[in-house]
Amino acid sequence: RLMYVDSDSTLIVEMPSAVHEAPLTALHSAFTCFFENLPFDSASINANVLSNVGASNSLIPDLRVSFQNMRDLAAEVIVPVIGETAFSQHIDVLMDKLQLALDADPSILMVIMAVVTESKRYFSPAKNSPSRMAFMRDGSIRSATEFITASNVLPTLDAPVIVEGHTWCLVESVSFKVWVRGDEAIDLETHDPAFVAEGTLYPTDDMDSVLAMIKKGADAMREKIVSMALTIDPDVDVVALKDPAIKFNIKKGNIITKIAGAMRETAYCRYSAWYEK
């Protein structure tokens, strides 16, 4: 995936992987479920949760929520939420990307950043290493099933994917940082706990403030939907749209499961890319 930053003539090259996509996949499902439970007219308001679709000329995020008024010919698509994952990459680059998106659209209501790190930089089997020799004796590339079953472990975050003595994927930590908009545009430099929260999902669990901030952002999105619905139909049932029984729910276990499963996919992709090289 390519991104060109015009202001300083920088080309950012990213190689998305299953682990890169996984942290926000659970959020994708949670947002979709939340919108499906809200009783707005889906023929009038088009709510989408998409991945790798442009939020602006400067960012194609890993997660993008958008609203569209289908009853107004001149209405522009609104992007209230963006999410990005950094998988063993420099955080400064990701922060620059997020700032460019906010500069392009200061009305964004919430920004979600997930950071996944590996204990050491991935490298392929060294020449003449026992691992390389074992794979070369196969004569042909292994299927995903053959490769993964050779690891002899079920997928968990604390179990590295090791095949023929070589570590193909090992997650060291998973953390999140979330910003929500107040009266002013989101400030990525703020430390105000009313507008930003950060925490670790793995190896320690310190996600309460992060989940609370995401729910705060979801409430802001609900208010945006209510506002759009009233614009389209002044007699819309606002009480039903604001029903407190309809809650945004995200389970930490779902995020962990997605990442643990993605480790195996990423490991096999690395192996197959190396073997076929």
Q: What CA–CA distance (Å, rounded) separates 95 from 242?
A: 34
Q: What CA–CA distance (Å, rounded) separates 209 from 211?
A: 6
Q: By C-alpha distance, which of 73, 67, 82, 15 is closest to 229?
A: 67
What is the arithmetic mean of pLDDT over 177-199?
97
Cβ 130 vs Cβ 101: under 8 Å: no
Q: What CA–CA distance (Å, rounded) separates 23 from 254?
A: 9
H or E segment at 38?
none
What is the arithmetic mean of pLDDT over 235-258?
95
DSSP conformation class of 163: E
What is the arithmetic mean of pLDDT over 98-126?
93
H or E segment at 20?
helix 18-37
pLDDT exceeds cutoff 50 at 9: no
pLDDT exceeds cutoff 50 at 198: yes
| Reported confidence tier of residue 80, pLDDT bands at 50, 70, 90 | very high
Cα 6 to chain centroid distance, Å, stands at 25
Question: Residues of the chain with pLDDT > 70: what percent?
Answer: 91
pLDDT in tens, 17-51: 789 889 999 999 999 999 999 999 999 999 999 87
**Residue 59: CA count within 13 A, CB half-sphere:** 28
Facing residues of 3 across strands?
12
What is the arithmetic mean of pLDDT over 195-222?
97
This prediction's pTM: 0.89
Q: What CA–CA distance (Å, rounded) separates 54 from 223?
A: 24
pLDDT in tens, 137-178: 999 999 999 999 999 999 999 999 999 999 999 999 999 999
What CA dihedral angle connects 108, 58, 69 and 106, to 10 degrees?
30
pLDDT attached to residue 272: 95
pLDDT exceeds cutoff 50 at 12: no
